[in-house]
Amino acid sequence: MSLTKKILIALVLGVIVGIGLSFAPENVFSFLDTYLLNPVGKIFLNLIMMIVVPIVFVSIVLGTAGLGEPAKLGRIGVQTITFYLVTTAIALVIGLAVAFILQPGKEGMFDVNTANFEPNAAPPIMETIINIIPSNPIEAMTGGDMLQIIAFAIFVGIALAILGDKTAGITKLFDQANEVLIFIVNLVMKAAPYGAFALIASAVGDSGISALGSMGMYMIAVILALFIHALVTYSVAIRGLGKASPIKFYKGFFPAMSVAFSTSSSNATLPISMKAAQENLGVKKSISSFVQPLGATINMDGTGIMQAVAAVFIANVYDVHLGVSAILMIILTATLASIGTAGVPGVGLIMLAMVLKQVGLPVEGIALIIGVDRLLDMLRTSVNITGDAACAYIISENEKRREEQGKTDPAI
Ligand code: ASP
């Protein structure tokens, strides 16, 4: 049986067992969760997290060095960042439109007096930008600070590209390190069906179906907007900008989407997203290694959608009218927030506090959506990484055509 099929079965079984467990007596669930589901899920998560920092560093160095001329790097960098910002803004517009049509939170069954939420301080956006350059790259690696690791790796990659033959040995070393890491990814992927099953059964069993009741409309709005964005926006982009087949894209990228669904972490899924893009979609290695790690860190369309719907939901619950300027503020701050959102579970909710504050909505409202956030995090993370892969796929297809036409970048 193919790995994709196995993971798919694991996802379905995980949801079914999770729903079953949410009806079982509390001690049955907690016993199974403590001694089986949680350990299996966590071991799988650790296995993939173990390779994230080395793979981001090594692959961005190789990707940048492989792009060769700084002009090409600049061109691809600009295309990537533009794609990320524009698709995130589109995601927010879709989220807002769906939320305004479905009006979640208008059902009036929410007790705002008991809602209590102490927001963690979200990092101010200027600080995030200043901190992109690490004052200590080793500290960035031990702390897993992705933006800083990426920045340092780009410098090393540019140096290797310019120094060429002089540093061919180091480039080769990175190449071989990459082989080792890919080997480990392939090994870890064999455990994916079991890990995915355990993570999903645990998350669904823990959230409990009853928690979903009053939040139904909110969840439907988020899920609907996620589907519209994932299916329509990316398909149109892949067809229109990349002149490629969306069906091939979704088929080839599915294994990564399912791992994102079970881990709720763009970072943790990164090694698998890159493998799926390179091997199943034929994305050029140098492009995938540059575009996808960057996207896993700064591009979060699914998270943006959740934030847009959540803002409308909270405005409805607290009976606050959202005018045009508030709506524009949501689009602007949530697009920026997506740059600062780390690709780990639940961070989207922390950044939501910043968006709500900027728009002037009550941050305590977050308490209402926390209960169902774990489940929505699974879906939005799948959308987050799909956006990164779509961008890598489009740019790679266009680069291949450029090469066929014999176009080159000016050397400096
Ligand atoms: N879990 C998301 C991710 O890793 C971030 C979030 O929305 O919480 O992409």
Q: pLDDT, tens digit, for every residue of 6-60? A: 887 888 898 899 888 888 888 888 899 899 999 998 898 888 788 888 988 998 8
Query: To test ligand 1's pocket by mutation, which of 56, 380, 383 has the most ligand atoms within 8 angstroms of CB?
Result: 380
pLDDT tens digits for range 211-236: 566 688 899 999 999 999 999 999 99
**pLDDT computed for residue 354 by the predictor:** 80
| 6, containing H or E segment | helix 3-23
* DSSP H/E element including 235: helix 234-240
C-alpha dihedral, 287 to 289 to 292 to 296, nearest 10°: -160
| Calculated CA dihedral for residues 396, 155, 183, 262, nearest 10 degrees | -70
Q: Which residue has the tokens 């305590």?
A: 364
Give per-residue pLDDT as tens, 266-294. 988 999 999 999 999 999 998 998 899 98
Q: Is the pTM of this model over 0.75?
A: yes
Question: Domains, the chain, ranges and CATH?
Answer: 3-404 (1.10.3860.10)
Contacts of 170 (CB under 8 A, 6+ apart): 160
Taking only the tens place, the pLDDT of each residue in 349-403 is 878 888 888 888 888 888 888 878 888 999 999 999 999 999 999 999 999 998 8
- Side chain identity, residue 78: V
Res 168: pLDDT: 92
CA dist., res. 317 & res. 104, Å (int) = 8
DSSP H helical segments within 103-191, as ranges? 125-130, 137-143, 146-163, 168-189
Q: What is the pLDDT of residue 337?
A: 81
**pLDDT of 297 above 80:** yes
More confident residue, 391 or 341: 391
Residue 128 to residue 90: CA distance in whole angstroms: 23
Average pLDDT over residues 317-339: 87
Query: How far away, in angstroms, is 323 Cα from ligand 1 center?
Result: 28
Residue of 222, 307, 377 best suited for mutating to test ligand 1, as the one with most atoms within 8 Å of CB = 377
Answer whether residue 410 shows pLDDT above 60.
Answer: no
Instruction: Name residues whose C-beta falls within 8 Å of residue 186's C-beta, 6 or more positions apart in sequence.
Output: 275
Q: Give the Å distance between the CA of 297 and the centre of ligand 1.
A: 10
Confidence of residue 112 (pLDDT cuts 50, 70, 90): low
- Give the Å distance between the CA of 400 and the centre of ligand 1: 31
Pocket residues for ligand 1 (CB within 6 Å)? 264-266, 300, 303, 341, 343-348, 377, 380-381, 384
Instruction: Please choose, from the candidates 345, 346, 363, the residue with its C-alpha nearest in 3D space to the C-alpha of residue 354.
Output: 363
State which ligand 1 atom lies nearest to the alpha carbon of 306: 7
pLDDT at 257 over 80: yes
Residue 412 has pLDDT above 50, yes or no: no
Mean pLDDT score of the chain: 87
